[in-house]
Structures are given as C-alpha cells and as structure tokens.
Chain A
Amino acid sequence: MIEPLWEVFIRSRRGLSHTHVGSLHAPDATMALRNARDVYTRRQEGVSIWVVRASDITASSPDEKDEFFDPAADKVYRHPTFYQVPEGVEHL
C-alpha cells in the first residue's frame, strides 16, 4: 500500500517557529497529523504540528543553483556590517 508522502513541521515550544523534522506516509491529512504525533513527538519534542502534502511543496531545483544563489555571494552591502554599533546597546 503506497500512501501519499507528508512533510512534518514541529514547533518545539511557544514563540519559536515550526521547523521541518522529517516526512511520513499517511492516507489523508487527519492520519498524517496523528502519525506525526506518534513518530515525531514521543519525547516531548513539540507543542504544535503542521503536516503538508509533499507534492504541494514547490521547491527550488538543484539545477538552478547558480542563478538562484550565487549572485548573492558578492553583495556584501546587503549585510548590515557598515554601521558602528554604539557601546552599551544590548540585544542587537
């Protein structure tokens, strides 16, 4: 029995964002959520689960790596590294 593949995202605690933790098979969304609970939160890993059908995810292709990501390599001005941070400023 080949069932659809689902990607699982878990929020480990309140205030953090959901993080991809893995994938699993399930016949539908309701069962995917339950399977995710059983497979990925056995040791209190999370307080919230998202499941997304893997086929619904549009992903960048490894073939497009050059035009997608390389141009960012030499744009140092995109990093906020040209500012002097005054002394005593916290949480920056």
Chain B
Amino acid sequence: MNDLFTYTLRLGDDALISAQRTAEWIAAAPQLEEDVALGNIGLDQLGQARSLLQYAGQVEGDGRTEDDLAYFRDERDFLNLQLCELPNGDFAHSMAKLLYFATYQHLLYEELRNSPDEMLAGVAGKAVKEVAYHVDHATQWVLRLGDGTEESHRRMQAGLEAFWPYTAEMFESDELVRRLAVAVDPSTLQDEWERLVMAVIDESTCSRPESSYQHRGGREGRHTEHLGYLLAELQHVARSHPGATW
C-alpha cells in the first residue's frame, strides 16, 4: 500500500474517531456552555478528518471519497490510535484524554506545517490554531478539577491514570514514518509532550501517573473492543441507505 495514503489515513482516522467521541458530549456536558465548547472542538476535529480523508482518497487514486473511507471501511482498516476510540468516561476523564491527545496533535501539526507535502502542510497550518485552543480548554479544566474539591480531584486523578497506558502509542515510530519524507516521526515529539503535560498535571495538584503497561496496535488496525460499537453508530445510516442524499 502507498505510504502517503497510509500516513494520511492514520492522521485522518485519529481526527475522525476523536470527533465522533467528542460529539457524544453534545447535550450531555455538565453545562450548556460546555456543550457548545465541545461541539466546536468536535467540529474542528471533523473538519481535519474531512480534509485528510479526502486527500487520502486522492492519493490512493481508486476514486474513494472521504465518505467511502469514513463509512465503508471495517474496524481492522482503521488506523487511529487506541486512545481516540476509548469511551469518554466522566467529564474529568474526557478532559484528561483531550489534554493528552490535543497536546500531541498540536506538536505534530506544528511540525507538519513544514512538510514538503503542500496539502499536509496546509491542513496542519489551519489545524494548529484550532488545536491550540483544544489544549487550552483541556488545560483549564484539568487545573480546575484537579485543584478543585476533594471529589473533583479524585476524578481528575482517575482520568489522568485511566488514559496513561494509551499515551506511548502516539509516539511510536515505524519504518513507514522514517521512510516517508513528508511525514513527522512522532517519536521526536515525546519529550516535549511529556514536559508540557507534566507541567499541567503538576500545577493541577494531581500526581503524575506511574509508568505502566502500554497498549499498542491501532496503527496496524488492532483495536480495543470499543471501536466496533463506535463505528456501528457512525456508519449505520450510511450503510443502511448507501448513496442516500438529503
């Protein structure tokens, strides 16, 4: 398979699956204002997914559209990080996940802006501003919940720990990213990511999650049990009524 196609699909799937999870909060967030904030964030992620999947389809050259890639691939064909597909949990869990993921995406897009591939550089250039806001949003909540009441602190700590075993996968390097000149090798982002995330965790008065077993496999299409359910909801209408328009 074409390297550039696979690489673009990885980034696009991260954004698409995150968007679907983020959207689950709409009308379920702790306050109306947060519904709108998370709606905005989810739509930013969906916008990134659309650009990337559209481009992936173009690169592949088999005439697949963004919709074909989003709605008519099966679980094992998705290359997103397992972190993106994990259930939201409570609000503190979701903010922990957003802090981890958005900080990673921000560092990645900052680098990808300089990619010789004009399309990837363009998507990254637009997305980097969006994601900077996602980082800020997650940071604000981690600080407030961590340094809030006893209960909010307990939940924030639990959230930070729950997703920690899924963070190393973000920085996994492989043959493909080393071979593909237009790609960013994510292993180069790990030190800075840890510095940024740890600074927020320290300030929030939570303790740093202890190193633990780290899950992996998303980039090769191996996923947790949760992705299937997510895809069922995401793909149901498109598969029940193929080609439907409105």
Interface residues of A (CB under 8 A from B): 1, 3, 24-28, 30-31, 34-35, 38-39, 42
- Return A76 CB to nearest CB of chain B, in Å: 46
Query: When the two chains form their complex, are residues B33 and A24 in contact, meaning their CB atoms are under 8 A apart?
Result: yes
Q: Is B208 an interface residue (CB 8 A)?
A: no
Chain B residues whose C-beta falls within 8 Å of the C-beta of A3 in the assembled complex: 31
Chain A residues whose C-beta falls within 8 Å of the C-beta of B30 in the assembled complex: 1
Chain B residues whose C-beta falls within 8 Å of the C-beta of A27 in the assembled complex: 144
- Return B38 CB to nearest CB of chain A, in Å: 9
User: Contacts A31-B144, A34-B136, A34-B140 hold; do A26 and B33 have CB atoms under 8 A apart?
Assistant: yes
Query: When the two chains form their complex, are residues A30 and B140 in contact, meaning their CB atoms are under 8 A apart?
Result: yes
Q: Is B36 an interface residue (CB 8 A)?
A: yes
Query: When the two chains form their complex, are residues B33 and A35 in contact, meaning their CB atoms are under 8 A apart?
Result: yes
By beta carbon, the residue of chain B nearest A2 is B31
User: Contacts A1-B30, A25-B31 hold; do A34 and B37 have CB atoms under 8 A apart?
Assistant: yes
Query: When the two chains form their complex, are residues B36 and A38 in contact, meaning their CB atoms are under 8 A apart?
Result: yes
Q: Is B215 an interface residue (CB 8 A)?
A: no
Query: When the two chains form their complex, are residues B31 and A38 in contact, meaning their CB atoms are under 8 A apart?
Result: no
Query: When the two chains form their complex, are residues B31 and A42 in contact, meaning their CB atoms are under 8 A apart?
Result: no
Q: Please report the C-alpha to C-alpha distance between residue A58 and residue B204 in the assembled complex, in whole angstroms.
A: 35
Query: When the two chains form their complex, are residues A39 and B33 in contact, meaning their CB atoms are under 8 A apart?
Result: yes
Q: Is the interface of A mostly helix, strand, loop or mixed?
A: mixed
4 shortest A-B CB distances, which residue pairs?
A35-B33, A38-B37, A39-B36, A38-B36
Query: When the two chains form their complex, are residues B144 and A38 in contact, meaning their CB atoms are under 8 A apart?
Result: no
Q: Is the interface of B mostly helix, strand, loop or mixed?
A: helix
Interface residues on B, range: 10 to 19
Question: CB-CB contacts of B131-144 with A at 8 A, as 1s and 0s?
Answer: 00000110010001
Q: Please report the C-alpha to C-alpha distance between residue A28 and residue B37 in the assembled complex, in whole angstroms.
A: 16
By beta carbon, the residue of chain B nearest A6 is B33
- Return A75 CB to nearest CB of chain B, in Å: 44
Q: Please report the C-alpha to C-alpha distance between residue A31 and residue B34 in the assembled complex, in whole angstroms.
A: 10
Question: Of B31, B36, B40, B136, which is in contact with the most chain A CB atoms at under 10 Å from its CB?
Answer: B31
By beta carbon, the residue of chain A nearest B148 is A27
Q: Please report the C-alpha to C-alpha distance between residue A31 and residue B143 in the assembled complex, in whole angstroms.
A: 11
Query: When the two chains form their complex, are residues A34 and B137 in contact, meaning their CB atoms are under 8 A apart?
Result: yes
Question: In the complex, which of the residues A25, A28, A30, A42 contacts B33, with contact meaning CB atoms closer than 8 Å?
Answer: A25
Q: Please report the C-alpha to C-alpha distance between residue A38 and residue B32 in the assembled complex, in whole angstroms.
A: 11
Chain B residues whose C-beta falls within 8 Å of the C-beta of A31 in the assembled complex: 140, 144
Chain B residues whose C-beta falls within 8 Å of the C-beta of A30 in the assembled complex: 140
Q: Please report the C-alpha to C-alpha distance between residue A27 and residue B144 in the assembled complex, in whole angstroms.
A: 9
Q: Please report the C-alpha to C-alpha distance between residue A25 and residue B31 in the assembled complex, in whole angstroms.
A: 8
Question: Of A24, A28, A34, which is in contact with the most chain B CB atoms at under 10 Å from its CB?
Answer: A34
Question: In the complex, which of the residues B32, B34, B40, B140 contacts A42, with contact meaning CB atoms closer than 8 Å?
Answer: B40
Query: When the two chains form their complex, are residues A38 and B140 in contact, meaning their CB atoms are under 8 A apart?
Result: no
Query: When the two chains form their complex, are residues A25 and B40 in contact, meaning their CB atoms are under 8 A apart?
Result: no
Q: Please report the C-alpha to C-alpha distance between residue A28 and residue B31 in the assembled complex, in whole angstroms.
A: 14
- Return A47 CB to nearest CB of chain B, in Å: 15
Question: CB-CB contacts of B102-142 with A at 8 A, as 1s and 0s?
Answer: 00000000000000000000000000000000001100100
- Return B203 CB to nearest CB of chain A, in Å: 14
